[in-house]
Amino acid sequence: MTNSLQERNKSIIEEVIKKIERTCPNAVDMVAISGSFASGDYNEKSDLDLLIVSNNEESDKIRTAFIMDDIGYDIYTNTWDDIKNISKYENPYVAKLKQLDIVYTRNNDAMEKYKEFQADLNDNMNNEELIKENISKNFSKILGNYNDILNCENISEAYKILGNFMFNLENVIYLLNGKYVEHGTKNIPVEIVKMKNIPRDVVSTYLKLPECKTIYEIIDKMFEIEKSLETFLKDKNIKVDYDEEEKEIKEKQELKSENLTGSFEELYSNYYNKLKTAIDEKNRYLSFRTMVDAQRFYDEYSEKFDIDPIDIIGKYNPNDLNENHKTFVSSLQVWKDIYDSFYKNVNIINNTKDIYDNKRLFVAYQSQDENGFFDKLNQEDNN
């Protein structure tokens, strides 16, 4: 880690801990560095991922999101129930119990509780029957994805289904091998290629999924994988039945200003620089996966609130990663228009001392554009 990155992260952590001690000292049990800075897979545009474990809702006071030096940050909290769920090893996203740099604990009890969940995870990762059950649950979702793609009529929905299929497939492969995602989303294919307990034809076809351009290509490749994997799992006495999940339809709510708080910053934090990294590294998988995840973010809003849906995944181009990044930037402009309709500001700061200075968010929008941030986005969108 370079000195500048080290100092930046240290300063952010100091501000978060000061906020905890000042406003909710009994509500937060632990703060730790997770993500790329814990695994060592960071770059100069990596944001700082913090695991903040809370024990009551008072901890909501430290939640915030902001953009600083062209990097988005999303400071949020997890409960102990969240940590318990991670320990169940239902999917391979368990790094928060494997790779962590703890920087703050409220007391020894908090540390002991965390260690107990670590031990539970280790036990579950060696529990053959539990792993078989969790593999079966994920494979059932794969069967559901295949059923959905057969009834799909447009490429946007097809790519959404493909994204879900890939996610569930990756879960199965990791669980079959008793592994977890160690080096972040972009390196999942690299990790999978090294795994032995999976048919090689499944792996080779999986690697080609982000190249698909038509619904027919997607159906063919999903079929190849599903049939080969089903045979493989049956040979291992793993249940391969389809348990259809009920889809709950809820009445849409009116969108309010508070529903948007932190959403632009979260979008920028989670997806903007990942799509740029995909370009730099010529990583088609990362570009596709990031667009799928961003689409899921937009869909959650349009399904819950009475707003127009935003479609970016339908414009996914496997042959032009620059175009994918531009598509996402255009969607950010649409989201910013929604912010503007509520006279809502994006939280852009120049230094860590401003992280919890909420007074700035009540000034006119023009004064927030301190470093030409939106001019830069507009330029990227128009180029």
Q: Which amino acid is at 42?
A: Y
Pairwise CA distance, residues 140 & 134, whole Å: 10
- Residue ranges and CATH numbers for the domains of the chain are 3-124 (3.30.460.10), 128-235 (1.20.120), 257-382 (no CATH)
State the 10-residue block means of pLDDT for the chain, 383 residues long.
Answer: 79 94 94 87 85 93 90 93 97 95 94 97 97 97 97 97 98 98 95 97 98 98 98 96 77 95 93 95 97 98 96 98 97 95 89 78 48 71 65
Pairwise CA distance, residues 112 & 230, whole Å: 41
- State how beta strands 348-349 and 64-68 pair: parallel
pTM over 0.75: yes
User: What are φ and ψ of residue 98, in 5° steps?
Assistant: -120, -45
Pairwise CA distance, residues 111 & 100, whole Å: 12
- Other beta carbons within 10 Å of 227: 13
* The pLDDT of residue 1: 47
The pLDDT tens digits of the residues spanning 223-236 come to 999 999 999 999 99
User: Do residues 158 and 111 lie in contact, with contact meaning Cβ atoms separated by under 8 Å?
Assistant: no
* The pLDDT of residue 366: 46
